[in-house]
């Protein structure tokens, strides 16, 4: 009987020893990033519409980025995250003829919806993860009467990404 207790004690001791060898502390981390999402603000949606333009054009049709005709976008991402924007200077509008129109963009941005400013370098989202973009621009300052009349349309794309992603 005494031997049995010794055997059991040894067995328990072995078990304890084995448990101590595998009981490592493992730190598990997961960095969840809020996906970047764009939403439009206001009645214009994502359409920048210059409306009807009469030929010949001698003064560039223009939409100020802070005007009611501009497109306003709201960006949501990680709080206080640093992001970079790819903002093309222009886009091509195609129409009924062979000659396209060049749209030159005028883009402003801010982490505050009430204070649009120039965008230079990386930008920081607000403490709530917000950033705002205002898009305006202009068309050529000279469009002759030989330009084909009709509807012109094109897509202008702004890309945002997390810095370091």
Using the rule CB under 8 A, is 41 a contact of another protein? Answer: no
Asked if 163 and 84 touch (Cβ cutoff 8 Å), the reply is: yes
The single residue among 2, 6, 95, 118 that binds another protein, judged by CB under 8 A, is: 95
Residue nearer to another protein on the CB measure, 92 or 112: 92
Q: How far is the CB of 86 from another protein (least distance, A)?
A: 9
Q: How far is the CB of 6 from another protein (least distance, A)?
A: 31
DSSP state at residue 164: T
The single residue among 7, 11, 14, 38 that binds another protein, judged by CB under 8 A, is: 38
Q: How far is the CB of 109 from another protein (least distance, A)?
A: 12
Asked if 74 and 41 touch (Cβ cutoff 8 Å), the reply is: yes
Long-range CB pairs of 122-125, under 8 A, 24+ apart, other chains included:
122/82, 122/83, 122/84, 122/163, 123/82, 123/83, 123/84, 123/85, 124/80, 124/81, 124/82, 124/83, 125/75, 125/77, 125/78, 125/79, 125/80, 125/81, 125/82, 125/83
The single residue among 53, 117, 122, 128 that binds another protein, judged by CB under 8 A, is: 53
The CA–CA distances, whole Å, from 31 to 119, 122, 164, 165 equal 28, 21, 14, 13
First-to-last alpha carbon distance for the chain, in angstroms, is 67
Contact region for another protein (CB under 8 A) — 9-17, 110-118, 122-130, 155-163?
Answer: 155-163
The single residue among 10, 18, 34, 80 that binds another protein, judged by CB under 8 A, is: 34
Contact region for another protein (CB under 8 A) — 1-9, 10-18, 116-124, 149-157?
Answer: 149-157
- Which positions lie near another protein, rule CB under 8 A? 26, 28, 30-38, 46-56, 61, 71, 73, 75, 91, 93, 95, 101, 103, 133, 135, 137, 139, 143, 145, 147-162, 165
């Amino acid at each position: 009987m005494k031997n049995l207790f010794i055997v059991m004690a040894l067995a328990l001791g072995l078990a304890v020893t084995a448990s101590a060898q595998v009981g490592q502390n493992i730190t598990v981390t997961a960095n969840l990033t809020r996906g970047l999402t764009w939403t439009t603000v206001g009645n214009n949606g994502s359409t920048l519409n210059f409306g009807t333009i009469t030929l010949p054009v001698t003064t560039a049709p223009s939409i100020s980025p802070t005007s009611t005709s501009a497109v306003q976008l709201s960006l949501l991402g990680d709080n206080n995250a640093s992001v970079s924007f790819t903002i093309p200077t222009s886009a091509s509008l195609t129409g009924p003829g062979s000659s396209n129109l060049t749209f030159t963009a005028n883009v402003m941005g801010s982490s505050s919806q009430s204070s649009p400013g120039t965008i230079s370098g990386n930008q920081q989202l607000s403490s709530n993860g917000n950033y705002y973009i205002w898009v305006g621009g202009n068309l050529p300052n000279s469009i002759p009467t030989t330009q084909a009349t009709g509807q012109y349309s094109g897509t202008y794309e702004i890309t945002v990404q997390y810095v370091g992603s």
